[in-house]
Amino acid sequence: MTKRNYKRLVYVVFLQIIVCCSSTHAGQLAIVIDDIGYRAKEDSAIYQLPKEVNVAIIPSAPQATIRAREAFEQDRDILIHLPMQPKNSSTLVEAGALMVGMDQEKVNRLVEFSRIQVPYAIGLNNHMGSKATSDRQTMEYLMNTLSSQQLFFLDSKTSGDSVAYEIANKFGINALERHIFLDNSDKLTDVQHQFHLAINYARKNGVAIMIGHPRKNSISVLQKGLANLPSDIELVKIGTLWRNEKVEPKKPFITLFDVEPALTSVPPFKSVPMLRGLPKE
């Protein structure tokens, strides 16, 4: 190997090491959009975002099954966004909600019905549910059902005293917890702040799970933010985290040509008339 080819090879290996190292340390960002199935215009805007953006569909929503099929065709990960009982008794809850006091059979039927309404779902997260997710018996019934039906679980963390994640692990379910809410406030500057907070959280902790909703400002922030996502942040499907899958880093477009060098470039060098730049003996 000539000195020139050796330097070239070292340079290529160096580039590949840099790319691999930067990808290895990239933060992963998973985005789940809740409350899908009610508003056609807003849902359509969400479905125009990258397929790595996950959708959580309320089973009782009028367009639940249609949205699930559309997401499946786009190769999106789908969650059942199951309504659950909140602590505030005056809060209205959608039909088909998980209520404290339900027995195991009722919980089984509820999840089975939800799967029919939201086909292709790989997991489930809670809609509201501050009372349900803090009730151990209710969560044990739910996790027993999810375990038997091989569904993952994401705790939306609507309550600080939720026991859902703990009990999911007890039943052998691969569970995750939400880290950031995109749009607790619908004010544009607040939504922008939350998006950047999720990016910084992913950088610091390796993974950030953010939950948002199909709202005007949320959609605007996601459209701009995901189109300009920093190179050290990897947008991933929620299933990638549930399954502990590794995202293959993108490799640089570098090609090495495996060809024999010219005879005049191979020692012992010989002077050839009319050729320049060749070393003489």
Does the residue 7 lie in any domain?
no
Our count of domains for the chain comes to: 1
- pLDDT tens-digit profile of 205-263? 999 999 999 999 999 999 999 999 999 999 999 999 999 876 444 444 444 445 555 55
| 244 alpha-carbon distance from chain centroid | 12
Per the listing, tokens 């190769």 go with: 75
- pLDDT, tens digit (0-9, with 9 covering 90-100), for 144-196: 999 999 999 999 999 999 999 999 999 999 999 999 999 999 999 999 999 99
Strand partners, 209: 30
Question: Residue 3 falls within a domain, yes or no?
Answer: no
Residue 111 lies in a domain: yes
Residue 194 CA to residue 232 CA, distance in Å, equals 18
For the chain, give the number of residues: 281
Q: Please write down the HEC assignment for all residues of 209-262.
A: EEEECCCHHHHHHHHHHHHCCCCCEEECCHHHHHCCCCCCCCCCCCCCCCCCCC
* Average model confidence (pLDDT) across the chain: 87
Rounded distance between C-alpha atoms, residue 68 and residue 74, angstroms: 10
User: Hey, how many other C-beta atoms are within 10 angstroms of the C-beta on 12?
Assistant: 14
The CA distance from 54 to 72, in Å, is 11
In a domain, 269, yes or no: no
Q: Is residue 204 part of a domain?
A: yes
Q: 90 lies in which domain range?
A: 27-243
For 197, list phi and psi in degrees, rounded to 5: -65, -40
In this structure, is residue 104 part of a structural domain? yes
- Supply the CATH number for residue 221's domain: 3.20.20.370
What's the Cα-to-Cα distance from 8 to each of 68, 259, 265, 280, rounded to whole Å?
A: 51, 14, 16, 24
pTM of the model: 0.80
- Is residue 33 in some structural domain? yes
Task: Quick: pLDDT tens for 38-55.
Answer: 999 999 999 999 999 999
Say if 274 falls within a structural domain: no
Output the six-digit token pair for 54.
């996950």
